[in-house]
Amino acid sequence: MKAVCILNGSTEMGPIKGTVWFSQKDESSDVVVSGEVAGISDGQHGFHVHEFGDTTNGCISAGAHFNPAGNVHGGPEDDIRHVGDLGNVVAANGCGKIDIIDKQIKLSGPNSIIGRTLVLHADPDDLGKGGHELSKTTG
């Protein structure tokens, strides 16, 4: 199974463009996520699947992080986390490379990310370890 997401956005720096590919051998396999995003500031950017595929009002209409089990926010290596918690994309020279193998997202079934919104945030994700009130919900 394969899927692709085209990322489009803008900041005060200009347009953001990217492509993210998803590949899964079978329903029980991990999902391989790869891609590249250009036009972003250097450093870490939180990377999440949000619950809805609606971007008519930006991140607000995309909903919260995709979290069908109702877990707390965490990092991609955590067993207990939102399904949509994919960690951080690190950018250098305006470009971020994506190379993830994830055990929780799927391309079919109850953890399917198909039809949802993929968001690359302006700020880093603290992976649920920040110690502030929003750390366990949004990072």
This prediction has a pTM of 0.92
Q: Which of 97, 1, 3, 96 lies closest to 49 in space, CA to CA? A: 3
The domains found in the chain, sorted by start residue, are 2-120 (2.60.40.200)
* Chain length of the chain: 139
**For residue 24, is it left (φ>0), alpha (ψ between -120 and 50) or beta?**
beta
Neighbours of 6 (CB within 10 A): 10
The pLDDT confidence band at residue 28, using thresholds 50, 70 and 90, is very high
Query: Is the model's pLDDT at 138 over the cut of 80?
Result: no
pLDDT of residue 136: 73
Mean pLDDT of the chain: 94
The enclosing H or E element of 98 equals strand 95-102
Which alpha helices (DSSP H) does the chain contain, by range?
A: 58-62
